[in-house]
Structure 1
Amino acid sequence: MLTREHAIADIDFRRGTIHPDRLVRGVHRNYLAHAERMLRVYSRGAGETRRTLHRRIHDILADEPDCPTARIDAFCKLLDDASGYRKDSSGRAAKLRQQVFALASQYHPLVQEPDRFFEHGQWQVKQTIAKQLGRTWQEIDEALFADVFEFHRLESFTGYETPPALLSRYNVAQVQAALYDATRLTIWASDDFKTILRYAKLAHLMHRIQPFAGGGYVISLDGPASQLRATRKYGVNMAKFLPALIACSDWRMKAEIVTGRKAWQVRLELSSDDGLNSHLPPPDQFDSEVERAFAEKWGDEPRDGWLLVREGQILFDKQTVFVPDFSFRHESGLEVACEIVGFWTPEYLAAKSQTLTRFSRHPLLLVVNALVQEQLPTLQLPTVTYKSAIKISDVLQRLNEISATQA
């Protein structure tokens, strides 16, 4: 990710909005060729110092109109993030400098070309010092400042797959940088609930959830301290969460941001239709092949009035959230959550049992692998057992039994 120093954004104080820097095809069409050149600099730059590589990136973008230095530095940071540098943290470079400077002081002053007045030329002295230290001067030169950030030497570059991928990462990174000062993030989501909540948890963000008309949910994210006082501490966590959200579909978000010395309140709005691309892959639609096979067999049309929806609802109890694998929606309006339990560790089964017990007051159907059923604690829930594949007839029977009890 970028640092605050790399952040570029336009703020409309009258409307209370912030718009992070973004490269678009029409206005910034030259950047595609620039990105190709920048990737080439790093992919061919093994052994070069960080300072040399950064200078070459600056040279590529120096003549580009309306290209601020912060944008160039941002590209350097993103390229560095995909790089491995050789650095010295053992103190050997400092010791080597002491040795070299002590030996060189015997030949002071040094000149480019010796003459009648100054007899010690740089090249000859370097060779003499190298011989005394038992190394080539190239080896000494590469190690002399290996502990200085600008003189770290490039060892590897994993890079970005394509020039557009680098430009896409830049656009996302600028939005992330704007979120560093965010105090709250509100998401309206109609799909990929489990992925959104999983990554929110990984980012240590608290959440509050409410359903909204149309079958989606409003998910409010903030940090533990945000409810008690204004804080910017968790903006970085929101920034880390952003690529996961962008990889999802059918969402929009609003971030509340505090900016400037006067702590202006502005908002950042974004949606899945804005064209940002995440470096993370889209969420896998199914957690297992058993789920995939069952969903494909059931199909998109209702069976006996029951429509199958993947992760169609969120069950929540205070700060505990449960996203069942499927929801069955009946034409009568009844909705039954369905959780499939396959091959898992005993620890997972124990935790899963606690969750299912906590939400057992909701209409819930449990589908359990026969090999797992003996390890799963007894639960007072309607259950379907399967061996290799889930039988639709068994599921329909249980669903209709649940429907009869709800009537």
Structure 2
Amino acid sequence: MLPSELLMHRLNGETVIPKRLKLDDKTQAIATELIAIFETCKGQSQGELDRQLQEMEGDTPDYRVKRGLAHILKSSFSTFEILSPLEPQELRRRVFELATQVIPSQQATAETLAKLADQLTQELNREVFPSQIAQGLYADLIENRILTQFDKPTAEDLIHRYNLSQVQGIFYRASHMTLKVHRNDPGEYKLLFRYLKLFQLMSYIEGDVDYGFTITVDGATSLFGTSTRYGLAIAKLLPALLHVTKWSLQATLVEKDPYSKKKRTGLFTLDSECGLVSHYPAGKMYDSAIESSFAERWTDLKTEWKLEREVDLIPIPGSVMIPDFRLVHPDGRSYLLEIVGYWRPEYLRKKFSQVSQANCENLILAISERLNLEKAGVKVSENTGMTLWFKDKLLPKAVLQAIEP
């Protein structure tokens, strides 16, 4: 996403309209030139990359567009690394320590670097050259980081990402948002709700699979004053929403007038005909390392029980519950599995309230022993299904033993 200083929008009354680039020859030429600069600078320092970008930017009036496109290339497609034989801070200490033993001179500097190169060659069991030490001394400065990898996008992909980022920036100052997702494929709902859960967004959900859902999400300004942290989480939801076929949203924004410095209210609307393109995968995803590890371990088991990731939505008042997995046996038996790992007390209270309201007798609740449930104010005894405790990792064998004693 783009930082606030690179966001551009205009007002039409109270309606906020973000800047969008056209997929025309002029814009694609700019994108292509920027991509070529990044490719040319592979293996070079960020300082050299910035120099070439500034040269290309020049004093043209569209400098903010070029700067925004370059920011996306840096943050989303580039890998910068610190290349040094040792951590630069330690390397400086070693060099300065040796330098105090000789009288400063150009020759002494070369001898010091050569001496340390010999020492490090022995210590690291690989050849270290004086030039690597000279380069690594201040390799931790931002301008000295090396562009080691560049995942080249097409010009069209870059422009799509820019347009999406401009729209995402609108949500940085959202006080609340109402999202309506109309009759869609259940799998699309599941993916959307998983992202709601992943980004820890506080939402109120009404509706069902047949008629659609209305989702109300509280935003940054309603919860945390002027903080944009929660607004960023809302912005991250947008690429997931683009995988839903039919939807519409309205967001209320609280912005500061750049001239009067007073707060003002704005409105922003968007729907599934917006033409934005998502870069999020539409496939399966996991909400935590515990779930991912459990799924990987299950594939190594020899069992008739099948582990399914895409499970049914369980409607509950004001929300829906999406169990993490479903276990299905060829004879027709099935269990739903919900994994509760390490989370904040607020999340735990919400999660156990959902479990209680779902009232599923075939639900297995796997709970980490590290959780302080008493402090969170939750009671496991209210679970109508099966409770399974685990330590660091949830082992598939433990789940099998619970359902086939």
TM-score, normalised to structure 2, is 0.61
* Alpha-carbon separation, structure 1, partners of 2:233 and 2:248: 18
1:166 and 2:158 are equivalent in the alignment: yes
1:221 to 194, 201, 217: 217
Question: 1:268 is matched by which residue type in structure 2?
Answer: F
**Over aligned residue pairs, what C-alpha RMSD do you find?**
4.5
Q: 1:57 to 1:102 in 2, by over 3 A?
A: farther
- 1:187 match: secondary structure: strand
Question: 2:337 is matched by which residue type in structure 1?
Answer: Y
Render the CA deviation track for 1:9-66: whole Å, top value 9, x for unaligned: 2234xx112222211124xx32212222322322342321112112323333447x64
For 1:105-116, what aligned pairs fall within 5 Å after superposition?
A: 106=104
- 1:171 match: secondary structure: helix
* Alpha-carbon separation, structure 2, partners of 1:276 and 1:151: 35
* Alpha-carbon separation, structure 2, partners of 1:216 and 1:341: 27
Residue in 2 that maps onto 1:342: 328
1:77 to 56, 71, 74: 71
* Alpha-carbon separation, structure 1, partners of 2:163 and 2:172: 15
Deviation (angstroms), 1:267: 1.6
- 1:30 match: secondary structure: helix
Render the CA deviation track for 1:225-270: whole Å, top value 9, x for unaligned: 8369786441111112221112322112122211123121112222
Q: Report the more deviating stretch, 186-195 or 97-106.
A: 97-106
* Alpha-carbon separation, structure 2, partners of 1:266 and 1:138: 56
Q: 1:171 to 1:350 in 2, by over 3 A?
A: closer
Q: 1:252 to 1:59 in 2, by over 3 A?
A: farther
Question: 2:158 is matched by which residue type in structure 1?
Answer: L
Q: 1:101 to 1:19 in 2, by over 3 A?
A: farther
For 1:1-400, what aligned pairs fall within 5 Å after superposition?
A: 1-12=1-12, 15-26=13-24, 29-62=25-58, 66-68=61-63, 70-81=64-75, 82-87=77-82, 90-92=88-90, 94-95=92-93, 106=104, 125=106, 129-134=109-114, 138-160=131-153, 162-190=154-182, 191=184, 192-211=188-207, 215-222=211-218, 226=222, 232-260=228-256, 261-282=261-282, 315-318=315-318, 320-322=319-321, 342=328, 348=337, 358-359=357-358
Q: 1:196 to 1:350 in 2, by over 3 A?
A: closer
Gap runs ≥5 in structure 1 = 108-124, 285-309, 326-338, 367-375, 379-407
* Alpha-carbon separation, structure 1, partners of 2:269 and 2:95: 52
Structure showing greater Rg: 1
Question: 1:220 is matched by which residue type in structure 2?
Answer: T
- 2:279 match: secondary structure: coil
Q: Percent identity?
A: 24
Contact 2:9–2:17 under 8 Å retained in 1: yes
* Alpha-carbon separation, structure 2, partners of 1:322 and 1:220: 16
Residue in 1 that maps onto 2:374: none
Q: 1:71 to 1:348 in 2, by over 3 A?
A: same
Gap runs ≥5 in structure 2 = 118-128, 285-309, 341-350, 363-383, 387-405
Render the CA deviation track for 1:373-397: whole Å, top value 9, x for unaligned: xxx969xxxxxxxxxxxxxxxxxxx
Q: 1:353 to 1:21 in 2, by over 3 A?
A: closer
Question: 1:59 is matched by which residue type in structure 2?
Answer: E
Question: 2:81 is matched by which residue type in structure 1?
Answer: R
* Alpha-carbon separation, structure 1, partners of 2:7 and 2:50: 18
- 2:320 match: secondary structure: strand
Deviation (angstroms), 1:281: 2.8
- 1:46 match: secondary structure: coil
Render the CA deviation track for 1:315-361: whole Å, top value 9, x for unaligned: 2324x413699xxxxxxxxxxxxx97537998816989997884469
Deviation (angstroms), 1:272: 1.6
Residue in 2 that maps onto 1:396: none
Contact 1:83–1:154 under 8 Å retained in 2: yes
Q: Report the more deviating stretch, 3-12 or 257-266.
A: 3-12
TM-score, normalised to structure 1, is 0.61
* Alpha-carbon separation, structure 2, partners of 1:79 and 1:104: 46
Question: 1:241 is matched by which residue type in structure 2?
Answer: L
Residue in 2 that maps onto 1:402: none
Q: 1:264 to 1:80 in 2, by over 3 A?
A: same
Contact 2:78–2:151 under 8 Å retained in 1: yes
Contact 2:239–2:279 under 8 Å retained in 1: yes
* Alpha-carbon separation, structure 1, partners of 2:163 and 2:100: 49
- 2:273 match: secondary structure: coil
